[in-house]
Amino acid sequence: MAKTVITPKIRALICANAHPEGCAANVRRLIEQAREAGPGSGLGTVVVIGSSTGYGLASLVTAVWGWGATALGVCFERPAAGKRTASAGWYNIAEVHRLARQEGRHVETINGDAFSHEIKEQVVAALASRFASVDLVIYSLASPRRKDPDSEHVWSSVIKPIDTPHGGKHIELRREVVTSVDLEPATEEEIESTVKVMGGEDWELWVRRLAAEGLLAEGARAVAYSYIGPRVTHPVYRTGTIGRAKEHLEATAERLDSLLGDLVDGNAWISVNKAAVTQASAVIPAVPLYKSLLYRVMKDAGTHELPIDQMLRLFADHIGPRRTPKLDRHRRIRLDDLELDPAIQDRVRELWAEVETDNLNDISDWSGFKREFLQLFGFDVDGVDYDEPVAIERPWD
């Protein structure tokens, strides 16, 4: 197999390639952490929709290595082709499969469009033939568009405020300067389209389908991820189009909770997670600037967490076997408690007012943010020799 030296092809927080050894090293680190922190057994069968990166990958690793689960993941990743590397998520899953096989664990992945009937069909067939009934369904999709499974219409999500225009600070990523972003309010069609992509419709289709096929175990739980964040990002997030979609997702949890309660004495919950550097979230205006200030403040306070820390906490305190989640008054699990701690947010607000291009690197963790972003693609990972030529093809076991 031909080998090549891979250097990052990155522009404005979009990375066009990935490093297989760096991604594999990331996955091994997650696994070690889950192995150390989790009880090692107790969970049966888990389905993770959106399993290859970010919160979904951290959930998969926590379930399998932290809690001894067998798992079926669903993701949409690209294998290597010619000289083009695979996507980071592809390499992540290649390492997950390699280690699972080495250790005699059962992990399978279905790669394709989770919104489609065809992929749901494949998941149902795999579960029916090779897995015990499902105890936990994690929904961790983040996608810019969704092809409607019935009409073939393609819905696209937009990141815009609702009702009033918004102008606010943000980092212009190409030049790395702090400037202001001006966003016009979304149209009704754009709001509807964003809800179609990132709302609860597809989650509900998944859970109803698994229930209708009799694949859910007694007491089965379904969990989807949401975000709220601070006031400075509300116009572009929580009170904007994405927030509208998250409200829909959260309302869906109510319906699914009743459904699962009636059918299998189960539950559906939302977990509101902390702001994390992931592929999907880096493109939201204002969010990279907020995160680089937040990271600085949380690191100084010793409360910074990565997705794997959050997922270990989610399973241990809320959704693991025999755990009863602690819910807020809207029935949501709040893993964003440390992020929204008033002392943390007061300090972030002060820094937000002060931050400009000249002091960006001094008062924020912008360099840490960028490094974490690079690491998502397997670059700048400790212990990896980037001068060493590597094979870009990594088949999934």
Q: Interface with ligand NAD by CB under 6 A: which residues? A: 50-56, 74-77, 89, 113-115, 140-143, 225-227, 273, 275-276, 278-281
Q: Nearest approach, Cβ of 26 to ligand NAD (angstroms)?
A: 12
Full 3-state SS string of the chain: CCEECCCCCEECCEECCCCHHHHHHHHHHHHHHHHHHCCCCCCCEEEEECCCCHHHHHHHHHHHHHHCCEEEEEECCCCCECCECCCHHHHHHHHHHHHHHHCCCCEEEEECCCCCHHHHHHHHHHHHHHCCCEEEEEECCCCCEEECCCCCCEEECCCCCCCCCEEEEEEECCCCEEEEEEECCCCHHHHHHHHHHHCCHHHHHHHHHHHHCCCEEEEEEEEEEECCCCHHHCCCCCCCHHHHHHHHHHHHHHHHHHHHHHHHCCEEEEEECCCCCCCCHHHCCCHHHHHHHHHHHHHHHCCCCCHHHHHHHHHHHHHCCCCCCCCCCCCEEECCCCCCCHHHHHHHHHHHHHCCHHHHHHHCCHHHHHHHHHHHCCCCCCCCCCCCCEECCCCCC
Q: Name the residue nearer to ligand NAD (CB basis): 33 or 264.
A: 33
Instruction: Report how far residue 52's alpha carbon sits from residue 77's, in angstroms, rounded to the nearest whole number.
Output: 8
Among the listed residues 91, 237, 290, 295, the single catalytic one is 237
Which pairing describes strands 216-226 and 134-139: parallel, antiparallel, or unpaired? parallel
Under 8 Å between Cβ of 39 and 66 = yes
Tokens 């974490």 map to which residue?
Answer: 372
Say what angle helices 366-376 and 287-301 make with each other, to 10 degrees.
110
Q: Round to the nearest angstrom and report the end-to-end CA distance of the chain.
A: 17
Q: Which structure tokens are listed for 196?
A: 């179609």
Asked about 237 being catalytic, the answer comes back as yes
Catalytic residues: 237
